[in-house]
Amino acid sequence: MTELVLKNRVSKQKLDSIVFFLKMLNIDAEVKNLARNRAAKKDPHAEVWGIWSDRDVDANTLRKQAWGIKD
């Protein structure tokens, strides 16, 4: 697979023309909007959110322990 990256914003009409041209050359082409795909990617921290689910821990307790605050 070869990938063609367009780094500037391209109008829909120009993009359609590019895809049409490639298909006329028997090149299978597809358009993916990476700006939307980046936003849709999951949060990298999401995998660790559940590690404390079976523990009795809250944010205030963690802050007090981290800053060495005594009750």
User: CA-to-CA distance for 55 and 39, rounded, in angstroms?
Assistant: 31
Residue spans per domain, the chain? 12-67
Contact by Cβ (8 Å): 29, 23: yes
> Is residue 23's pLDDT more than 60?
yes
pTM listed for this prediction: 0.46
User: CA-to-CA distance for 20 and 27, rounded, in angstroms?
Assistant: 10
User: CA-to-CA distance for 4 and 26, rounded, in angstroms?
Assistant: 16
Task: Read off the pLDDT of residues 26-64 as tens digits, 9 standing for 90 and up.
Answer: 999 988 876 655 555 666 666 677 777 777 878 888 888
User: What is the per-residue pLDDT for 27?
Assistant: 93
